[in-house]
Each structure stands twice: as C-alpha cells, then as structure tokens.
C-alpha cells in the first residue's frame, strides 16, 4: 500500500496505526499541508477533495476517508481484528469512532479554521475558541458514554483495541497539539493512553513522523 499523509493529520494517524497493528507493510508520502501541497493540481488529481489520507491499494483510484479505509483494511486483512465480531458491539465501537471522525474532527480542520478567520475576519485567538468548542463537544460526549455505558473495558469497546480507540487516540493527541484542557475527561484519558501505549500506535504517533516539530 502507498499512502499520502501528513504528520499532523488525525485521519492519517488512525490509518497508519491500523496498518502497524496488523503488520501490513506500506509506504507513506508526507505532504506539507502548511505549504499547500494538498491543493496542487497533481494532488487534486489523486483526491479532488485535497485531503489526506489517500491510500493506493491497487492500480485503481485511491481509497479516501479514514473510516472507509479502516473498514477496507478490516475486510481484507482480518488478522488482529480492530472491530468486534458481535454486531451490537461493532455498532458501539463504530459510533464512538464517529463521535470523533464525524462530529468533532471535521470542525477543526485547517479548511474550517481558515474559513472562519477569513470570512469573519477573526483573529487566531477567537478562531481557537471555536476549535476548543469542537474538542469539548466531542470530549464531553465521549466521557459521558465511556464512563456510563456498560460496554467500556480496558479499551473503548471491551478489552480489545478497535477503531473507536484509534479515533479517540487521534483526538487526544490533538488536545496536546492545540492546548485543550483535558482535566474533565479522565475516562477518555485512560482509554486514549491505553491505546497510545500499544507499540503499533506509538510508532504511528503524529509527533514521530517526518515534518513534525521537534520537542
């Protein structure tokens, strides 16, 4: 597989972590999103949306959208399952993943941040209020569900890592990058850290990829 990604992309992180956990070899080409690589004509031919990740699995068009790519990997590489076999548990794992991938992450992408600043002439600090609103909405929902629903175990769904954890971990890393207060979310923290401690996930960490700031 050949993946177009970026160190900071939460979506690329999820896919990279799944490939590592399953031991699937891949090559990653890192775009410089700050330099606008994603908007260049040669990348728009790959993904008209100008977004990463885009993953080539054969000679056809690339796969896009992190959750769709995770499902494809699951369908074609069932070893080390990253979704429960039981439909009810699968639905819960998927819904927790989607709290992040649908309702939270899309609200703080560079596309949205830039639009808010440009269209409403907002200074960066006021735009960041919206970013924190996005994170807090997701984190509050996750804390309420993870602490209140019986399905939570060592990981978000039971005792095996799943797509839910990969998405939660990607959100958790974002709280560090953007300085979001995480004190009110102890259950999310526990689950995210259990996932981030796995070797395949740790190796996929955004701050360990080419282009990331040195700490």
Residues that bind a copy of itself (CB under 8 A): 48-49, 51, 57-58, 60-61, 63-65, 67-69, 71-72, 75-76, 87-88, 90-92, 94-95, 97-99, 101-103, 105-107, 111-112, 115-116, 119-120, 122, 126, 129-130, 133, 137, 140-141, 144-145, 148-151
Report DSSP letters for 30-91, one per residue: E--TTTTGGGSHHHHHH-TT--S-EEE-SSSPPEESHHHHHHHHHHH--SS-SS-SSHHHHH
Nearer Cβ to a copy of itself (105/198): 105
- CB-based contacts of 31, cutoff 8 Å, min separation 6: 4, 5, 6, 37, 38, 43, 52
Nearer Cβ to a copy of itself (80/98): 98
| Closest approach of a copy of itself to the CB of residue 154, in Å | 19
Do the Cβ atoms of 51 and 5 come closer than 8 Å?
no
| Closest approach of a copy of itself to the CB of residue 129, in Å | 6
Nearer Cβ to a copy of itself (151/211): 151
Q: Which one, of 10, 103, 143, lies nearest residue 152 by Cα?
A: 143
| Closest approach of a copy of itself to the CB of residue 181, in Å | 17
- Kindly state the helix (H) or strand (E) to which residue 29 belongs, with its residue range: strand 27-30
d(C-alpha 149, C-alpha 160), whole Å: 16
| Closest approach of a copy of itself to the CB of residue 148, in Å | 7
Nearer Cβ to a copy of itself (167/198): 167
Nearer Cβ to a copy of itself (31/128): 128
Nearer Cβ to a copy of itself (68/197): 68
Q: Sheet holding 63-64: strands in order across? A: 27-30, 2-5, 54-56, 63-64
Report DSSP letters for 98-120, one per residue: HHHHTTTGGGGSHHHHHHHHHHT
| Closest approach of a copy of itself to the CB of residue 115, in Å | 6
| Closest approach of a copy of itself to the CB of residue 31, in Å | 17
């Amino acid at each position: 597989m050949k993946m177009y990604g970026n160190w900071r992309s939460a979506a690329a992180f999820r896919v990279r972590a799944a490939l590592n956990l399953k031991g699937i070899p891949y090559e990653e080409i890192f775009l410089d999103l700050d330099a606008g690589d994603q908007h260049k004509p040669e990348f728009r031919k790959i993904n008209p949306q100008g977004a990463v990740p885009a993953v080539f699995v054969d000679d056809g068009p690339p796969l896009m959208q992190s959750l769709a790519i995770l499902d494809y990997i699951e369908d074609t590489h069932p070893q080390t399952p990253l979704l429960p076999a039981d439909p009810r548990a699968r639905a819960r794992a998927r819904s927790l993943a989607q709290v992040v991938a649908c309702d939270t992450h899309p609200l703080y992408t560079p596309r949205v941040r830039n639009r808010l600043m440009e269209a409403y002439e907002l200074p960066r600090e006021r735009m960041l209020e919206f970013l924190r609103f996005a994170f807090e909405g997701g984190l509050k929902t996750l804390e309420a569900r993870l602490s209140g629903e019986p399905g939570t175990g060592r990981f978000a769904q039971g005792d095996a890592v799943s797509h839910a954890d990969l998405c939660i971990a990607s959100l958790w890393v974002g709280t560090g990058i953007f300085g979001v207060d995480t004190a009110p979310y102890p259950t999310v923290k526990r689950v995210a850290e259990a996932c981030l401690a796995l070797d395949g996930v740790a190796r996929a960490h955004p701050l360990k990829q080419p282009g990331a700031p040195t700490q």
